[in-house]
Amino acid sequence: MTSPKTPLPALVDSHCHLDFPDFQGELPGLIARARAAGVTRMVTICTRLGSEPSVRAIAEAHEGVFYAAGTHPMQVAEEPMATVEALTALADHPKFVGIGETGLDYHYTAESADVQQESLRLHIEAARRTRLPLIIHARDADDDMARILAEEHAAGAYSCVMHCFSSGPRLARTALDLGFYLSASGIAAFPRSEELREIFAAAPLDRILVETDAPYLAPPPHRGRRNEPAYAALTAQWVARLWDLDYPAFAAATSANFDRLFWKAA
């Protein structure tokens, strides 16, 4: 007589992009594979407000899928400026759980730094008003990001996750000191990410989330190929070692962190 199969620990993919063309026509199978891997919830992120209706429809159609919306910093210069009113109005939807992603990206789009900063501050105000977490993208902009996050928090508290965190220790410390969360993507498992792993290992476990950023940044052994929410389990298994935890304990801890921050999805 065979014993019942032990259920996999439940895990959350806190950041993916299910509306991207990479997944067109594949969502039922994609979500089924995630559930089979124990990834029972995921947040799909809208990066252009004009795409919000299609991202919302994905969340409405699938159990365990929630969504957030904002204007990605790399798109700010070519998109209409988001308004606080438009962002806060989205919060009426029961599956809308976060503001963003927003932030600063000076790696590819430094020429639009001023308008990125304006957009970021508008998203922060929307996060304040809705009490929903801000979802931050930061690349090659650590000084300005740390300054703006701190200035705005002093003007009025808000919650925040540093999505796909891959910045330096100063920005990590600023975020943690403000009560924010750091999210680990597949980058944390890359061979050359030792400094990043040291940053995560020094952070409190109760401030850590896990994500895929799918279809990007697949962890080993899928690096260089398309990422998907099921692979959040691979990243979590790798990152759990930084706290000397077994996978079930780490999955439980990061799921509890997600519930605390993304309270509407709890």
Q: What is the pLDDT of residues 132-165, one digit of tens each?
A: 999 999 999 999 999 999 999 999 999 999 999 9
Binding site annotation covers 17? yes
Span 173-180, mean pLDDT? 98
Domain count, the chain: 1
To the question of whether residue 62 is assigned a binding role by annotation, the answer is no
User: Tens digits of per-residue pLDDT, 56-95?
Assistant: 999 999 999 999 999 999 999 999 999 999 999 999 999 9
For 244-253, the CB contacts below 8 A with 24+ separation are 245/205, 247/9, 248/9, 251/9, 251/10, 251/11, 251/38, 252/9, 252/10, 253/205, 253/206, 253/208
Asked whether residue 169 is domain-assigned, the answer is: yes
- Domain membership of residue 205 (yes or no) is yes
pLDDT over threshold 60, residue 26: yes
Domain CATH number, residue 138: 3.20.20.140
Give the per-residue pLDDT at 5: 60
**Domain contains 4:** no
- The CA distance from 110 to 68, in Å, is 25
- Strands 134-139, 11-16: parallel, antiparallel or unpaired by DSSP? unpaired
For residue 5, is it within any domain?
no
260, burial (CB in 10 Å: exposed 0-12, middle 13-18, buried 19+)? middle
pTM: 0.95
Could you tell me if residue 6 is inside a domain? no
Using CA atoms, how far apart are residues 66 and 53, in angstroms rounded to an integer?
A: 13
Quick one: pLDDT band at residue 8, thresholds 50, 70, 90?
confident
pLDDT digits (tens, 9 = 90+) for 213-243: 999 999 999 999 999 999 999 999 999 999 9
Is residue 2 one of the residues assigned to a domain?
A: no
Question: Domain for residue 74, yes or no?
Answer: yes
Question: Quick one: pLDDT at residue 6?
Answer: 61
Mean pLDDT, the chain, integer: 96
Single out the residue of 82, 48, 83 nearest to residue 68, CA to CA: 48
At a CB cut-off of 8 Å and minimum separation 6, what does 33 contact? 228, 229, 230
Q: What pLDDT is attached to residue 234?
A: 97
Q: Which two tokens stand for residue 8?
A: 């996999």
| Six token digits for residue 238 | 């790798």
Instruction: Determine whether the annotation assigns residue 213 to a binding site.
Output: yes
Show the domain range for 85. 11-265
The answer to whether 142 is annotated as binding is no
Judge whether 101 is annotated as a binding position: yes
